[in-house]
Structure 1
Amino acid sequence: MKIQSPATNFLNQTQQTPKQLAEQLATGKKVNSAADDAAALQIIDRLTSQQDGYGQAVRNAYDGISYSQVTESSLSGVNDAVSRIRELSLQAGNGALSDNDRAALQEEVVQLQSQITETFENASFGGKPLFDGQSVSFQVGPDANTTQKTTPSDGSFAAAIATIDISTQAGAQAAIDISDQASDEINAQRAELGAFQNTLASTIKGLGTQQENIVASQSRIQDTDYAQAVSRQASNDILTNASIALRGQANQSAESILSLL
């Protein structure tokens, strides 16, 4: 069995260090495998999973905002149509108009009724109906059951609007009340959607803060301290040169002893 000299052992150790330092400097990570630090690697993997979870939660929350914005925009269009119907109803309530005049106004009402019905039947977000009365839940956290939900209108008041007929003064008076009730429901729904958007915006801000904290924690464990690594590399280069010199001196001494023998 060949026994290595202390100088040789020291040289071998100093020659192994540059490989690890070079990898750390090249990748920017001081933990590149379980061999570097098994415990730290497990923590890094968990933090990476959490970071990915927060990132997806943020994207989900933005989807929720987009969903509510599209829904609110559709309701805004319906509200404009309802407001126009109310305006026409007020006009039809004027005793100076003839039946033919009111019939002409009713023709526009019919078109507006069709527009409202079409919106509630066909409006969708990514293929999902907006006004089916079903709650829509968004996963806005990295853990189970961290959700936010909203329940858009089912458009049931559209049925009342569809009955409006302002071809008579009595019908015009009834239409005013129906329009007011519909407008109140629409505005209440839009207010809820606005609150939902604000809640999601606040959630996104909180998620962003938590994600930043996780990234910072992961960085402290994983990332290479370049100043320290370069300093270690320079120090190791000096030790390597010194060990080579010591080994050379040891070899010369051994040769001198052999020559004497």
Structure 2
Amino acid sequence: DRISQALGRSLDRLSSGRRINSAADGAADLAIAERFRAEIRSLTQAQSNTGQGIALAQVADSALEETGELLIRMRELAVQSANGTLGSSERASLEQEFASLRDEIDRIANTTEFNGKNPLADGSDVAIQVGPDAGDTLTVSGATATAAELGVDGLAIGTASGATGALSGLDTAIRQVSSLRSQFGTAQVRLESAARLLGAQLEGTSRAESLIRDVDVAQEVATLTRLQILQEAGVAALAQSNQNLGLLLKLL
């Protein structure tokens, strides 16, 4: 009967914790709740995407920080080699270290990776999907930080004049690295802002979905109790009716 069916639905709601378990519980509410659920899933994935974008920018910045340290050391060596009191053997040792540092710059640029992306070697931009819709993207601009791109591949400090001439090139390279670090830092700040916005959107959408889909336990317990009382009253009434019918039959 209708009371038994309503009692069954009430028990389903309490056991599942959800007010809407099927279209029979409210087709319109179910459609709204499903739309919210799809958006929650999309926002959660966008949040993960944004976190990966932040990590990419951090990896690139850390690598560029090390490249900057190498360039500063190379400049220090150039200043040392420009000193007229040095002999040729001493300059040769300085040139050897200088070349090793230049090779290390290339190694960093070519081996810095994040999830298959090389942010310092190929110069490719990376589009980060930071929202549930097609236009919700932020771009992490690519960079190339090889020795050749920084303009230090042809520098040498084996002579005093070469060392003096290398200083301006090294200064340019140091400024270039600083500019690239600023580029990745700006991207990280924007992505962190997007992540905070996603968190707020996810919280609000989850709350809205919960209000529609989740059961009000206190209210549902009250409903269940009322239905149980009605069912018990109906059973008692039926039993009493059967008893009265039996007495009537005896009198007849």
TM-score bracket for the superposition, by shorter chain length: over 0.9
Aligned partner letter, 1:44? A
**In the alignment, structure 1 residue 172 sits paired with structure 2 residue 151:** no
Q: In the alignment, which of 179, 187, 193 is matched to residue 178 of structure 2?
A: 187
- 1:103-162 per-residue CA deviation (whole Å, 9 max, x = no partner) reads 111010010111112222332222222221111111010010211112132226635211
Q: In the alignment, which of 144, 150, 153 is matched to residue 143 of structure 2?
A: 153
Aligned partner of 1:5 in structure 2 is none
> Is the Cα contact below 8 Å between 2:47 and 2:130 reproduced in 1?
yes
Q: In the alignment, which of 16, 19, 25 is matched to residue 27 of structure 1?
A: 16
- 1:75-130 per-residue CA deviation (whole Å, 9 max, x = no partner) reads 11111110000000111111111222211110100101111122223322222222
Aligned partner of 1:219 in structure 2 is 210
What are the ranges of 5 or more consecutive residues in structure 2 without an aligned counterpart?
none
> How much identity, in percent, do the aligned residues show?
33
**In the alignment, structure 1 residue 144 sits paired with structure 2 residue 128:** no
- 1:214-257 per-residue CA deviation (whole Å, 9 max, x = no partner) reads 11011111111110111111111211121122223333444555
Determine the C-alpha separation between the residues in 2 that align with 1:51 and 1:15. Answer: 35
Q: Following TM superposition, by how much is the alpha carbon of 1:258 offset from its aligned partner in structure 2, in angstroms?
A: 5.4
Structure 1 residues 117, 157: CA separation in 2 closer, same or farther (over 3 Å shift)?
Answer: closer
Q: Following TM superposition, by how much is the alpha carbon of 1:203 offset from its aligned partner in structure 2, in angstroms?
A: 0.7
2:50 aligned counterpart, secondary structure: helix
Aligned partner letter, 1:95? G
**In the alignment, structure 1 residue 60 sits paired with structure 2 residue 76:** no
What are the ranges of 5 or more consecutive residues in structure 1 without an aligned counterpart?
1-11
Determine the C-alpha separation between the residues in 2 that align with 1:49 and 1:15. Answer: 34
Q: Following TM superposition, by how much is the alpha carbon of 1:17 offset from its aligned partner in structure 2, in angstroms?
A: 2.0
**RMSD of aligned alpha carbons:** 1.6
Determine the C-alpha separation between the residues in 2 that align with 1:73 and 1:256. Answer: 94
Aligned partner letter, 1:198? V
Q: Output aligned runs, 1:79-228, within 5 Å.
A: 79-131=68-120, 132-155=122-145, 158-159=148-149, 160-228=151-219
Determine the C-alpha separation between the residues in 2 that align with 1:248 and 1:100. Answer: 115
Determine the C-alpha separation between the residues in 1 that align with 2:234 and 2:165. Answer: 102
